[in-house]
Amino acid sequence: MHVITVPVTPFMQNARFITCNSTGKSAVVDPGGDTDKLLTIIKQQQLDIVCILLTHGHLDHVGAADELKAILNVEIIGPHIDEKFWFDALPMQSQMFGFATKSTFYPDRWVTDQEQFRVGELELEVRHCPGHTPGHVVFYHKPSSQVLVGDVLFKGSVGRTDFPKGDAAQLKQSILEQLFTLPGDTLVLSGHGENTTIGYEKQHNPFMSGRFG
């Protein structure tokens, strides 16, 4: 799985393009904004986008999804249906985060825990990881040992839980059960900041060790 990372919006959210090396088919993951910037990358890299994947419904992760859907004529897939209230609240999120007004839209289909689907020949496994938000999911590609985790886990940190329906205990349980059960060399592609690995976070993440709660 080939990955291109493009930070977008003032929140420097890591939009990702993932590409199947065999077929050339690609998906864009968490296109949070800066539609023109993302379209430029698609054109420059000659990417064949077949779908848009969303880990959760926060505006800085979904802000360009509906525009890209209309331009590229592709489906929006994910997150879990428990995230619907964040999509209902997109206009409110615009005000809360200081973004331009965003109208409500919804994915073409929600995903479920342990569901598997393909982008070209890339087989991705969905893992439901509530806590940061209730319907948050991650996308795991076992053959390349990579997992796209949105705002669940960061290098040395974890996702915030002070937003509506956030739950710190649930987030920790999600990380322990859905991420820390992956092999230690699994590359963690976070929604903000640099990449890390499962092994590094199991050893060094202070939020999971109990040092910071």
pLDDT of 140: 98
pLDDT in tens, 28-74: 999 999 999 999 999 999 999 999 999 999 999 999 999 999 999 99
- What type of residue is 12? M
pLDDT of 68: 98
Q: How many domains does the chain have?
A: 1
pTM of the model: 0.96
pLDDT in tens, 1-40: 999 999 999 999 999 999 999 999 999 999 999 999 999 9
Mean pLDDT in residue range 161-189: 97
Q: Provide the residue range defining the domain that includes 191.
A: 2-209
Residue 81: CATH number of its domain: 3.60.15.10
pLDDT of 210: 67
pLDDT in tens, 77-125: 999 999 999 999 999 999 888 888 899 999 999 999 999 999 999 999 9
